């Protein structure tokens, strides 16, 4: 024990020594690492700043060298000294601002300042003067040391650039430029900066000054000491002294404050300066000092921990020794008490006896069961304390001790044993006995163990009662319950199982499943049950069971393994399966209906132009899918008074019909539901109050039993109803019936909407066509106006002078025929112009009320001459024909053009029919016939049996210059003229034609209820009459003006002629009292004829007569071509007789 203690102490000492040694070594390593890191940083910073200062000095010298190298600069200095140094101002200002010089000076070789940017005067200081002399001697630029100037300038560093010039044939120094740098602007900030945050680091530059070290820049901890702080060279511990004495690298010393510092010493090349980058030792090694404290603390802690571990180990060894002794004692005590503890705490009764049966021990349970305590029963015979009898025979059971001793083994006592306690109370027990042997194996006693079975017996009785209750519950369950054993015999079945099997319970119980249901072992059901039986697994499945009579039923089976075999719970789900099957069929039917409707929507038939065909097809499909005999579509009127059957489809005999009308007064209940947009679902149509009104007249005769009526809505408005009618037995309309019916109704609404959109598009196209036609009319109107104004003036001159020539020429002259041809050609040109004006509705007309039958009768002779003898002209006047108001000449134009067109359409013999009649049109007709207007009209129709026209020709038939005749045989203005005349008189025209079946033009002119004027009697042409009145004629066309003047003067009138409105006003002022008639053109450049007449009437007497003439009125004296009342007008071109007649009529009016 003592030897082990010594070895343990030696090991502990070694561990402590190792810990201390490792701690000290780590401490020294960290210190050297911190030292190296600090010296590396200092050296890097010092070298960086040395490099920057070196570069800066080199730049200053380079700039001075550039000035020195400039050729002729010295000569310029000599010249400027004579003319004034101020001429350097601009050059040196630019140099100062670009390179940041504080001053730029020009100095003489003796140091006199000749020029300074900051206006310094006098001489350079002695130190700079010496540097100047050196620069002049060497001819190279010189950079001065840091110095202060007199007058408060400085600290500065000067770059001196010497200059030379030819003086008296020899090159001599003439001066220098001094580039002065303020050290506080660049050098000092460079030195004062430090790349990382620091509390004590700074950078210094020093130089040797006799036996001292001079600090050239400002220090961190004192102010204004640049070039003033000096330290004797005897203080060798100061880093600055070390530097000037030639030491480089990192040193440790005392700075100017007396504080220990680490310093990096570096000489600055090409100068007498030395760089010192320093930092306090406290800061440089501060992190290491903190870490060293941590290391020392850690070593102390480890040593302390080693001491504590050693103490714990010692204590553990002592405890281990004492614990071994305690375990031995405890083992002994446990061995003594284990037997007693076990016997006392066991849940069964325990009695121990000697080999003779005398009781030695009773545990508490035995005391409770026998009624004897340990004290009372000790040493008593077993038979006295432990009295047991047979429960059934009541005989005393053999002493168990004797039996155990006899047999020498553990024995179990007889079943159904009763223990009679001290008080005579009986306890059913289960007991056993075992011998107690000594070390030699001899039986020295017996231990009896017995247990009270009273509670167990009670539980068994309750279990039996529970089983009976469960059997009663299972017997009365609606689900089938059955238990089969491992041999597939039915151990238990309830009444429901017997019902499911359609057997008696007695036919199942005790019998084998394979025998009761032959062939079941070949079914999937049996395979699944077998898997559950062998694998002791659960199962949930649905099974269709087929009965011997061919019927079947569906069962849901839940199989659970039980000790006896398998427990099978069966539930009849036949009704649910039938519902699911019905739902599946409904779903399939709905899908089929949806696919049918979708295919209809996708089909060209549904979106085509034939609405009736699409609806018919839709009704047929709906009847097929709904399995009804009749499907009909009814449309409701706007007032919801009647509904009309637009289509009725009957599957038998597969036909469509329509036309039936139902009135709200007769069927009020049905109409009430319909107006409320209610879907009428009448399973019993004869009894439903909404449909029973149809019973006698409709339902019973047709055998209709059930009705399903769905409203049809279009843009939120009730448009009609879709009716499904089932003939025969009553049916129940299911939700899918209603959904399908509503879908069909919606499709019909879509078809109706599509038809409405199509009508709107057609109407839009018609309106666009009318707009295009109006634009064409406007274009032709403008063309006609231009032609009428210019062309008719030319025609007027031609016709007029031709008339004059014909009047004065000898009838036998050979030129008369030529003049007649000229006259006829000009007249044809004038007619062509009138046709253009008629088409464009720009022709001035004078409508009168007339009887169209009389007018046509007067024209028949002329019309028959136009069509020739081979064509029969039939005239069919209408009776009681209404009056119309129209210009008679326009009727002539209409009939002449139509009859000529009919003649040209007939090859050989044919017939042309002219027919009149009265016609009234309502809004509905006009809605379906574009261009028509409601009201009363007189119809003129011209029909022929000619070649007819195709659809493409009909689309262009009224366009100007469109003709089907060969080139040169027609102008293409005939029908265009007719169209323009009809439109000008607020009528409309229809044309009907097919190739090979002739053509009919039907013209409708509005009825006029104003009475007719009396006809004037025809008279033969009167001779030309003139007069002696004064006439003012105004015309901007010279030829027409001269013609009119000549004609009127020839008739005896006094004529004043004016070539424009301005000249006319001047003549009126000169002759205002003598002018009786103004003849003026309507369209003139300066002023139109109407405005001119108003101005002249203001100047002239009130009885001034006015006659307008023009080839184009431009609506100035006419409204839409109709002359205003009281306006006298003559259309160009006119003849001499026409002019003479209307002039006389105007003057006499």
Q: Hey, is 966 helix, strand or coil?
A: coil
- Among 134, 162, 182, where does a domain finish? 182
DSSP string, 192-225: H--SS--SS-EEEEEEEETTEEEE-S--SSSSS-
User: Is position 64 within any domain?
Assistant: no
Residue 337's H or E segment, with its range, is helix 286-345
Q: List the one residue out of 975, 963, 827, 955 whose CA is nearest residue 897.
A: 975
- Among 428, 452, 476, where does a domain finish? 452
Model confidence band, residue 537 (pLDDT cutoffs 50, 70, 90): very high
Model confidence band, residue 1017 (pLDDT cutoffs 50, 70, 90): very low
Q: List the one residue out of 980, 988, 984 whose CA is nearest residue 776.
A: 980
Q: Which DSSP letter does residue 144 get? A: P
- Among 733, 765, 797, where does a domain finish? 733
Note whether 435 and 486 are same-domain residues: no
The tens digit of pLDDT for each residue in 279-290 reads 888 777 766 555
User: Is position 596 within any domain?
Assistant: no
Note whether 618 and 647 are same-domain residues: yes
Provide the CA 1028 distance to its chain's centre, in angstroms: 90
Q: Omega of the bond prior to 1149 within 30 degrees of 0, cis?
A: no
Q: Hey, is 413 helix, strand or coil?
A: coil
Residue 868: which domain range?
852-1006
Note whether 650 and 514 are same-domain residues: no
Given a contact cutoff of 8 angstroms between Cβ atoms, the answer to whether 347 and 452 are in contact is no
Given a contact cutoff of 8 angstroms between Cβ atoms, the answer to whether 808 and 791 are in contact is no
Sign of the Cα pseudo-torsion (343, 349, 350, 353, in order): positive
Note whether 963 and 891 are same-domain residues: yes
Note whether 405 and 430 are same-domain residues: yes
Strands (E), 750-879: 848-850, 871-876
**Higher-confidence residue: 235 or 813?**
235
User: Is position 1015 within any domain?
Assistant: no
Note whether 862 and 1002 are same-domain residues: yes
pTM exceeds 0.85, yes or no: no
The tens digit of pLDDT for each residue in 784-816 reads 666 666 777 777 778 778 887 777 787 778 777
Residue 723 has pLDDT above 90, yes or no: yes
Given a contact cutoff of 8 angstroms between Cβ atoms, the answer to whether 231 and 212 are in contact is yes
* CATH for 611: 3.30.450.40
Structurally, the chain folds into a number of domains equal to: 6
The tens digit of pLDDT for each residue in 97-148 reads 777 788 888 888 888 888 888 888 888 888 888 888 888 888 889 998 888 8
Residue 30's H or E segment, with its range, is helix 2-68
Please tell me the predicted confidence (pLDDT) of residue 1018.
45
Please tell me the predicted confidence (pLDDT) of residue 37.
77
Given a contact cutoff of 8 angstroms between Cβ atoms, the answer to whether 76 and 92 are in contact is no
Please tell me the predicted confidence (pLDDT) of residue 1000.
92
Q: Could you give the CA distance from residue 534 to residue 88 in angstroms, rounded to a whole number?
A: 121
**Higher-confidence residue: 252 or 954?**
252
Q: Which of 319-328, 416-425, 869-878, 880-889 has the lowest mean pLDDT?
A: 319-328
Note whether 1000 and 939 are same-domain residues: yes
Please tell me the predicted confidence (pLDDT) of residue 291.
60
Sign of the Cα pseudo-torsion (513, 517, 518, 522, in order): negative
Model confidence band, residue 827 (pLDDT cutoffs 50, 70, 90): confident
Give 695's contacts (C-beta < 8 A, 6+ positions apart): 685, 686
Note whether 431 and 485 are same-domain residues: no
Model confidence band, residue 1121 (pLDDT cutoffs 50, 70, 90): very low
Q: Could you give the CA distance from residue 482 to residue 499 in angstroms, rounded to a whole number?
A: 12
N-terminal to C-terminal alpha carbon distance within the chain: 172
Note whether 976 and 1055 are same-domain residues: no
Q: List the one residue out of 67, 193, 212, 191 whose CA is nearest residue 141.
A: 67
Strands (E), 399-551: 411-412, 417-420, 426-437, 443-452, 480-485, 490-493, 539-546
| Mean confidence (pLDDT) of the chain | 80
Note whether 981 and 1030 are same-domain residues: no
Q: List the one residue out of 862, 864, 954 whose CA is nearest residue 912.
A: 864
Residue 61, CA atoms < 13 Å, CB-side half-sphere? 16
Please tell me the predicted confidence (pLDDT) of residue 12.
66
Q: Which of 329-343, 886-900, 991-1005, 1090-1104 has the lowest mean pLDDT?
A: 329-343
Give 483's contacts (C-beta < 8 A, 6+ positions apart): 490, 491, 492, 493, 562, 564, 565, 566, 567, 568
Please tell me the predicted confidence (pLDDT) of residue 605.
53
User: Is position 271 within any domain?
Assistant: no
Please tell me the predicted confidence (pLDDT) of residue 1120.
45
* CATH for 157: 3.30.450.20
Give 887's contacts (C-beta < 8 A, 6+ positions apart): 845, 846, 847, 848
User: Is position 305 within any domain?
Assistant: no
Note whether 969 and 868 are same-domain residues: yes
* CATH for 1070: 3.40.50.2300
The tens digit of pLDDT for each residue in 334-376 reads 655 666 666 666 678 888 888 888 888 888 888 888 888 888 8
The tens digit of pLDDT for each residue in 622-646 reads 888 788 889 988 888 877 788 888 8
Q: What is the mean pLDDT of residues 562-591?
A: 81
Residue 1116 has pLDDT above 60, yes or no: no
Please tell me the predicted confidence (pLDDT) of residue 1005.
93
Percent of the chain with pLDDT over 70: 82
Please tell me the predicted confidence (pLDDT) of residue 287.
61
* CATH for 931: 3.30.565.10
DSSP string, 653-700: TTEEE---EEETTT-HHHHHHHHTT--EEESSTTT-TTTGGGIIIIIH
Residue 940 has pLDDT above 90, yes or no: yes
Residue 46 has pLDDT above 70, yes or no: yes
Note whether 1120 and 1084 are same-domain residues: yes
Please tell me the predicted confidence (pLDDT) of residue 531.
92
Distances (CA, A) of 293 to 15, 262, 305, 307: 21, 22, 18, 21
The tens digit of pLDDT for each residue in 499-528 reads 888 899 888 888 999 988 888 889 898 999
User: Is position 252 within any domain?
Assistant: no
The tens digit of pLDDT for each residue in 552-565 reads 899 999 999 998 89
Please tell me the predicted confidence (pLDDT) of residue 5.
59
User: Is position 101 within any domain?
Assistant: yes
Q: Which of 552-556, 758-762, 1078-1082 has the lowest mean pLDDT?
A: 758-762
User: Is position 413 within any domain?
Assistant: yes
């Amino acid at each position: 024990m003592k030897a082990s203690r010594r070895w343990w102490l030696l090991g502990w000492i070694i561990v402590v020594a190792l810990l201390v040694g490792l701690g000290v070594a780590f401490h020294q390593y960290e210190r050297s690492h911190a030292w190296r890191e600090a010296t590396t940083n200092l050296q890097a910073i010092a070298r960086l700043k040395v490099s920057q200062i070196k570069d800066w000095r080199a730049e200053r010298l380079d700039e001075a060298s550039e000035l020195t190298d400039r050729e002729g600069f010295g000569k310029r200095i000599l010249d400027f000294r004579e003319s004034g140094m101020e001429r350097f101002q601009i050059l040196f200002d630019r140099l100062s601002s670009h390179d940041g010089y504080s001053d730029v000076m020009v100095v003489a070789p003796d140091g006199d300042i000749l020029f300074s940017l900051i206006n310094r005067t006098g001489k350079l200081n002695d130190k700079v003067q010496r540097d100047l002399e050196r620069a002049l001697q060497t001819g190279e630029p010189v950079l001065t040391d840091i110095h202060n100037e007199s007058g408060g300038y400085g600290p500065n560093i000067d770059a001196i650039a010497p200059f030379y010039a030819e003086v008296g044939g020899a090159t001599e120094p003439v001066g220098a430029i001094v580039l002065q740098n303020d050290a506080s602007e660049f050098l000092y900030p460079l030195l004062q900066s430090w790349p990382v945050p620091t509390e004590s680091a700074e950078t210094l530059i020093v130089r040797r000054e006799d036996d001292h070290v001079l600090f050239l820049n400002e220090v961190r901890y004192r102010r204004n000491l640049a070039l003033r702080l000096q330290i004797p060279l005897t203080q060798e511990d100061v880093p600055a002294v070390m530097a000037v004495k030639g030491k480089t690298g990192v040193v440790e010393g005392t700075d100017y404050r007396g504080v220990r510092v680490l310093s990096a010493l570096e000489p600055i090349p090409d100068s007498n300066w030395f760089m010192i980058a320093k930092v306090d030792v406290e800061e440089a090694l501060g992190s290491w000092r903190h870490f060293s404290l941590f290391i020392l603390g850690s070593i102390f802690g480890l040593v302390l921990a080693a001491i504590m571990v050693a103490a714990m180990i010692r204590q553990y060894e002592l405890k281990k020794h004492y614990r071994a002794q305690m375990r031995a004692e405890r083992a002994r005590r446990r061995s003594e008490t284990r037997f007693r503890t076990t016997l006392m705490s066991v849940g069964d009764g325990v009695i121990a006896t000697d080999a003779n049966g005398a009781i030695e021990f009773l545990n508490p349970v035995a005391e409770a069961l026998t009624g004897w305590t340990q004290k009372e029963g000790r040493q008593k015979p077993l038979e006295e304390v432990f009295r047991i009898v047979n429960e059934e025979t009541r005989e005393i059971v053999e002493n168990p001790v004797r039996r155990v001793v006899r047999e020498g083994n553990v024995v179990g006592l007889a079943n159904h044993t009763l223990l009679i306690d001290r008080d005579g109370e009986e306890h059913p027990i289960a007991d056993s006995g075992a011998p107690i042997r000594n070390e030699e194996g001899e039986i020295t006693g017996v231990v009896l163990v017995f247990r009270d079975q009273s509670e167990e017996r009670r539980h068994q009785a309750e279990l039996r009662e529970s089983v009976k209750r469960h059997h009663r519950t299972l017997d009365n369950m609606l689900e089938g319950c059955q238990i089969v054993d491992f041999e597939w015999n039915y151990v238990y079945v309830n009444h429901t199982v017997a019902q499911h099997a359609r057997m008696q319970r007695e036919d199942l119980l005790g019998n084998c499943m394979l025998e009761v249901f032959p062939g079941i072992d070949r079914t999937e059901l049996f395979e699944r049950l077998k898997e559950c039986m062998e694998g002791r697994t659960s199962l949930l499945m649905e099974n269709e069971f087929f009965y011997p009579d061919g019927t079947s039923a569906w069962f849901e089976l839940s199989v659970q393994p039980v000790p006896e075999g398998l427990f099978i719970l069966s539930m009849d789900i036949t009704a649910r399966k039938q519902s699911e099957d019905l739902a599946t069929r409904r779903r399939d039917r709905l899908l089929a209906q949806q696919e049918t409707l979708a295919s209809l929507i996708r089909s060209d038939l549904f979106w085509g132009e034939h609405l009736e065909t699409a609806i018919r097809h839709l009704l047929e499909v709906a009847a097929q899918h709904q399995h009804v005999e009749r499907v009909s579509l009814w449309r409701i009127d706007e007032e919801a008074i009647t509904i009309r059957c637009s289509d009725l489809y009957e599957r038998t005999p597969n036909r469509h019909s329509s036309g039936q009308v139902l009135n709200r007064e007769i069927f009020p209940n049905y109409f009430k539901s319909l107006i409320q947009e209610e879907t009428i679902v009448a399973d019993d149509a004869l009894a439903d109050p909404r449909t029973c009104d149809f019973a006698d007249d409709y339902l019973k005769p047709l055998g209709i039993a059930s009705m399903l009526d769905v409203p049809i809505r279009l843009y939120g408005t009730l448009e009609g109803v879709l009716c499904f009618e089932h003939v025969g037995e009553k049916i129940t309309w299911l939700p899918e019936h209603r959904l399908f019916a509503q879908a069909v109704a919606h499709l019909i609404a879509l078809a109706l909407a599509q038809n409405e959109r199509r009508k709107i598009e057609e109407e839009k196209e018609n309106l666009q066509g009318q707009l295009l036609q109006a634009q064409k009319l406007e274009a032709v109107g403008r063309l006609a106006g231009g032609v009428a104004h210019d062309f008719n003036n030319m025609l007027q001159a031609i016709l007029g002078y031709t008339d004059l020539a014909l009047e004065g020429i000898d009838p036998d002259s050979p030129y008369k025929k030529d003049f007649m041809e000229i006259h006829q050609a000009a007249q044809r040109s004038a007619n062509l112009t009138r046709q253009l004006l008629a088409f464009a509705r720009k022709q001035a007309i004078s409508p009168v009320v007339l009887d169209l039958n009389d007018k046509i009768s007067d024209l028949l002779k002329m019309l028959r001459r136009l069509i020739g003898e081979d064509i029969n002209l039939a005239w069919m006047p209408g009776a009681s024909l209404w009056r119309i108001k129209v210009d008679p000449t326009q009727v002539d134009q209409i009939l002449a053009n139509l009859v000529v067109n009919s003649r040209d359409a007939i090859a050989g013999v044919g017939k042309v029919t002219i027919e009149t009649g009265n016609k009234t049109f309502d809004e509905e007709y006009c809605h379906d016939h574009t261009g028509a207007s409601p009201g009363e009209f007189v119809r003129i129709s011209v029909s022929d049996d000619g070649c007819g026209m195709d659809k493409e020709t009909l689309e262009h038939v009224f366009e100007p210059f469109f003709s089907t005749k060969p080139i040169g045989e027609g102008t293409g203005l005939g029908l265009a003229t007719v169209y323009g005349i009809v439109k000008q008189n607020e009528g409309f025209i229809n044309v009907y034609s097919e190739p090979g079946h002739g053509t009919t033009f039907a013209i409708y002119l509005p009825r006029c209820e104003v009475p007719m004027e009396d006809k004037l009697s025809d008279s033969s042409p009167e001779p030309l009459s003139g007069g002696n009145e004064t006439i003012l004629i105004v015309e901007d066309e010279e030829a027409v003006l001269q013609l009119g003047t000549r004609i009127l003067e020839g008739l005896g009138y006094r004529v004043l002629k004016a070539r424009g409105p301005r000249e006319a006003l001047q003549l009126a002022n000169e002759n205002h009292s003598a002018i009786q008639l103004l003849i003026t053109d309507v369209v003139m450049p300066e002023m139109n004829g109407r405005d001119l007449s108003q101005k002249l009437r203001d100047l002239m007497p009130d009885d001034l007569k006015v006659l307008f003439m023009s080839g184009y009125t431009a609506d100035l004296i006419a409204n839409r071509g109709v002359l205003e009342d009281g306006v006298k007008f003559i259309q160009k071109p006119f003849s001499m007789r026409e002019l003479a007649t209307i002039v006389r009529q105007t003057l006499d009016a």
